[in-house]
Amino acid sequence: MTRTHLKTVSIATSQDPSTLSKQQKAFNSLIKQIEKSRAQLVAWEAASQAYLEKYSREWVPLVETSQALQIKFVHRLDQASCQPGLTKTERGMIADLIVELAGDLVAARNDAEMKAVYNKHSGTDFDSEEAARIKAMKAMLEASLGVELGDVDMNSPEDVMQHAKAQIDARQAREDAEQEAREEHKAKRKKSAKQLAKEARQQAEAQQISQSIREVYRKLVSALHPDREPDPRERDRKTALMKRVNLAYDKKDLLQLLELQLELEHIDQASIGQIGEERLKHYNTILKEQHIELIQEIMHVEGEFRARFGIDPLLRVSPGNIMGHLKNDIRDVQYVIQDIGKNLRVFDDVKKFKAWLKEMRRRPARDDYFDDPDYF
């Protein structure tokens, strides 16, 4: 989302802000909220791009290096499990380590060699376990979401969510249609004078709100008219402005239409302060809706960012902190790479290897050995 620097729209007062009316204060407050949300969207765009570049340039190669070392480490564990001089307890611990580490690698890379090593030491079959896990997860999702996932690829979160969303949207559409039918049936019954008056007020207000945007749009169109401009350069400028006007009108972006009026000097801050209370009330209704849409767009952008990079849903993220999180992740992977390289040397001496196993036995169980830089 890129944005041209526009003049700020506000109702100014030279002295005490308390001289502003209720609608004027609401107008200024909504403008500030929208500007803040706009800035947040722009910040998300810039931060996401910077994150992607650093992620691709630094994180991805490090993860590939780390996984290659992890595979080597598992192979060395597999080889060590066959050497003489180990106790039954030590062999059992080696098998547990291999199952944990190889299982993670198969899940991450679907590596055939790691799958064979996993099957050898687990006494089970990875594919069978994975099929059972997916079946259970599928049943849980179907029950919790009230959908049927059919033969959707459960290994693709995007496909699962798209399939589920399509069914949820279809169900919501049916429910909306049923609700609309009930309301139509109810509307056919004789209405009281109070109900009729309320509906008339709502319709009139909706028309006024639409008219408010349309009037600003018409004034801009009337002033621009690029097709009537004889000068080629000025015609190009007006054509570009007209595109911005049309885009803002299509999106019902009242604030940008007002900003364009300021930019073209069709209005000034003083004339904004002269807008009547009733018109301001309509403007404020439009601006409230615009602000809600911006908040929803920010939530959507953040959600897409989390999904794309596998961000923990419980981790608080913002344009200001995502690069810090990535730097920490990169540092942790670097530590893991260093530690795996160091610990590969324990396989060169059986005494060192047995001492290392003893140290591992004293440590608490880990959810993911390779993701914990303190493990090695």
Tens digit of pLDDT for each residue in 8-39?
677 766 545 677 888 888 888 988 999 999 99
8 A C-beta contact, residue 97 and residue 76: no
pLDDT, position 329: 95
pLDDT, position 249: 84
Alpha carbon distances (Å) from 143 to 136, 147, 148, 260: 11, 7, 9, 51
Which uninterrupted H or E stretch holds 351?
helix 350-362
As a whole number, mean pLDDT of residues 161-174 equals: 83
Which of the given ranges, 12-21, 201-210, 364-373, has the highest pLDDT on average?
12-21
Contacts of 125 (CB under 8 A, 6+ apart): 119
As a whole number, mean pLDDT of residues 262-285 equals: 75
130 falls in which pLDDT band (50, 70, 90)? confident
Mean pLDDT score of the chain, rounded to an integer? Answer: 82
Report the C-alpha gap between 295 and 254 in whole angstroms. 16
Sign of CA dihedral 52, 53, 58, 62: positive
What percent of the chain is modeled with pLDDT above 90?
28
pLDDT, position 1: 45
pLDDT, position 373: 42
Can you say whether residue 10 is alpha, beta or left, with left for phi > 0 and alpha for psi between -120 and 50 degrees?
beta
283 burial (CB, 10 Å; 0-12 / 13-18 / 19+) is buried
Q: Does the pLDDT value for residue 367 go beyond 60?
A: no
pLDDT tens readout for residues 42-76: 999 999 999 999 999 999 999 999 999 999 999 99
More confident residue, 329 or 85: 329
DSSP string, 111-146: -HHHHHHHHHHHSS-HHHHHHHHHHHHHHHHHHHHT
8 A C-beta contact, residue 319 and residue 43: yes
